Structures are given as structure tokens and as C-alpha cells.
Amino acid sequence: MVEIFYTVSPDLHRMARREEGVITDLDFEIPAQSPSLWGSLYLGRVVEIQKPLQAAFVDVGLAHPGFLSLREGKLSPVTQGEAVLVQVNRTDNPFEGKGVRLTRLITLSLGPLLYTPFVPGLSLSKKIKDRQVFKNLFPLRPEEGLVVRYGASTHDPLLDLFLQLREEWGKVQQQLAGKPPFCITPPFTLLTRVLRSLSPSHRLMIDDRTVALLTKGRGAFCKERAFDEPCEEAWDSLFSTEIPMLQGGNLSIEETKGLVVIDVNSQGALKHALSFNRLAIKEALRQIRLRDLGGKIVMDLIGAPQELPPLLQDLTIPTDVEIFGLSPLHLLEMIRRRRRLSLPQRLKLQLN
């Protein structure tokens, strides 16, 4: 069961997502500040092409031009001065003074569906069992693409969601005749992102009556504080670099400019190195998602493990995490696409 808790205070909105009793996602928003640009659509203009970088810089009307990689599938090349439809897939980094990162591979998300107008065909999560039912459900046109993510159910109104996404994409295309640069789809608020991620089986609880009314019945108002003790504990853990593990010991998480380092400490709780490391990796994967960590990640395990498969046995690897293996120094190397500053970094930047 998926439960989403949305708690409101005058200067801060917070969200926690719990799956099968475990807090898996946290996020926040300061109402007085603009929402995150991640996912916004712009019609921009190419102002510079950097052939050595195989990239272009695109003016989308922000303080700095956005960075657009030109190595994106089979899309046609761009030329200087050309108008291009782009989406923000990584927000700007105020610590580096760089602009946003952009993509031409537009995606629109709603519930468990991801609409991909430039990647045609139907793609199903590997975890979906009854695959044939989904293959016959959507009347895809040859140019359309759709990803059905894990958690989708035939009891959900998936066809209605798909048709809504198709309609949204049609409205985007109607605006392409305008003069760039301008924003086509403004950034979503935290509440809107939560609502767009909901499936009918999800349960959303909000402790503010006015905010609950904005959901038009999709969220339930609760008189008590929406964040219970586990939610608050998960939130408070974001302010610490040391994460205790249930079996004893802890993880030490340090973010540097180039990568994230996770150190495993047994603190006298070690009985069997393989099982201890396996549990540590499981918790590290949860923390990566919880803290929204991205980029290169290395994990210093207990002892000197020689092989990777035994470490990953019975573990569920998130689809957005790629594990490369063990380095000669026995460091576990992985990578996760960075969309924005990590949650602890954003908290430090915006709450101080």
C-alpha cells in the first residue's frame, strides 16, 4: 500500500511517501518561492553550438542559457538560431553558476504512465507480470510512445490517463508557432506533482483544509498532523550525515562536488561480512532515493568483497540506478541521473 502524507505550515509544505511501511520519498516546497523548474517545457532558441562538447546552448528566457546535449538518440541535428522545444531535466546549480540542463526527449508523466512522443512504442516495467493485458490496452499511434511503470493496475483508469496525456501533448504542439524564448508548461507546484503521481489505490492525507479542497476529493483532510513519527524521523535524518542501520552500525554519507561517498561502519555489530554488506547496500539504495542523491556514487563496504553478484542477491535495484561493479579498491561504484540538488543540499540552501 502506498500512503502519501502532505503537511502544511505557513512557510513550508512537506511531503512523505510510504510504501509497505517504509518511508521512500521526501520533498518540500517553500510557498513564497518559485517551484522547481524540473520538468518545465520551453520553446527556446539555439544561441551557440559547441562541437567539441557535442552540445548546444539554448536561450529559454532564464538568467543563463541551458545546456542541451546533442547526443540524444536519432533526433535531427540543430542549427544556430533554430527554435527548439526542450524540457528541463536538471535544474540549475547555484553553487556552480551554471544554467539548467535540457533535453529534446520530452516526457509527460501522469500516474503510472510516462508519455514519450519522441520515443515511439510501448514499454512495460520488467516487474509487471500480466504483460499481455497492457499491450492491448492503449491505441498507440505509430509516432507515440508510452512507458507503463511498476505499480500500474488494470483496475486503474489507464486508458483515460493515456488520453489525457495525449491531449496535453496536443496543447503543447499548438504553442510551437510562438516566438521563442518562452515557457510552454510552467513548473508544477509540489501539490500538483503529488497529484499527478497518484494512482487510484494510493492514499493521500493532508492536514490543511484549504489545501485539501484544492485536490477536488483526491486527498483526504485529517485534523491531526499528517506527518507521524516515522515521517518526522525520516525528515530529521536529512540533517545528519550518519544513518543508523537496524542491524547495528551506520552509513556515513558525504556529498562532494564530484561524487557521493557512502562509508559503511559496523561499530562492533559485524557477524558476517556478506550479509552485513548486503543489508548496507539495501539501506544505501533507500537513502539514495530518499535524499534524491545523484551523479557518481561510491560505497566503501566492510572487508574486501571480491564478487558483485552475491552482494546484490535478492536486492531490488531501482531502475534509475546503474551499478557498475567493484573497483580495484573494492569500492562499489554506481550512478544515478542527477535531476537537481540533493534534498539535503536544497534544505541547506533554502532554509538557512
Percent pLDDT > 90 in the chain is 65
* pLDDT in the model for residue 121: 93
Identify whether the C-beta of residue 180 lies closer than 8 Å to the C-beta of residue 81: no
Cell of 1: 500500500
Do 65 and 179 share a domain, yes or no?
A: yes
Q: Is the pLDDT score of 149 beyond 90?
A: no
Model confidence at 272, in pLDDT bands (50, 70, 90)? confident
The average pLDDT across 134-143 equals: 88
Q: Is the dihedral of CA 295, 255, 58, 103 positive or negative?
A: positive
Tally Cβ neighbours within 10 Å of residue 282.
15
Q: Decide if 162 is inside a domain.
A: no
Distances (CA, A) of 197 to 15, 126, 149, 316, 335: 12, 20, 11, 21, 24
Residue 303 structural domain:
238-346
Do 201 and 133 share a domain, yes or no?
A: no
Q: Decide if 223 is inside a domain.
A: yes
* pLDDT in the model for residue 352: 62
DSSP string across 84-105? EEEEEEE--BTTTTB--EEESS
Q: Decide if 147 is inside a domain.
A: yes
The one-character DSSP state at 75 is P
Give the least confident one: 2-11, 256-265, 314-323: 314-323
The average pLDDT across 3-29 equals: 94
Edge-to-edge strand list for the sheet holding 113-115:
108-110, 113-115, 145-148, 121-124
Q: Decide if 100 is inside a domain.
A: yes
CATH number where 77 lies: 2.40.50.140
Verdict on whether the full-model pTM lies above 0.75: yes
Cell of 327: 573497483
The one-character DSSP state at 139 is -
Q: Which of 255, 242, 247, 252 is nearest to 301 (CA)?
A: 252
DSSP string across 265-312? E-TT--S-HHHHHHHHHHHHHHHHHHTT--EEEEEE-SS----SHHHH
Do 178 and 83 share a domain, yes or no?
A: yes
Do 132 and 178 share a domain, yes or no?
A: yes
Do 117 and 68 share a domain, yes or no?
A: yes
Identify whether the C-beta of residue 42 lies closer than 8 Å to the C-beta of residue 181: yes
What domain count does the chain have? 3
Mean per-residue pLDDT of the chain: 91
Do 271 and 215 share a domain, yes or no?
A: no
* pLDDT in the model for residue 143: 92
Q: Decide if 274 is inside a domain.
A: yes
Q: Decide if 352 is inside a domain.
A: no
Integer Cα distance of 128 and 285 in angstroms: 21
The average pLDDT across 76-103 equals: 87
Cell of 249: 552500525
Do 119 and 250 share a domain, yes or no?
A: no
Q: Is the pLDDT score of 23 beyond 70?
A: yes
The average pLDDT across 70-93 equals: 89
Q: Is the pLDDT score of 39 beyond 80?
A: yes
* pLDDT in the model for residue 351: 67
Q: Is the pLDDT score of 97 beyond 80?
A: no
* pLDDT in the model for residue 129: 76
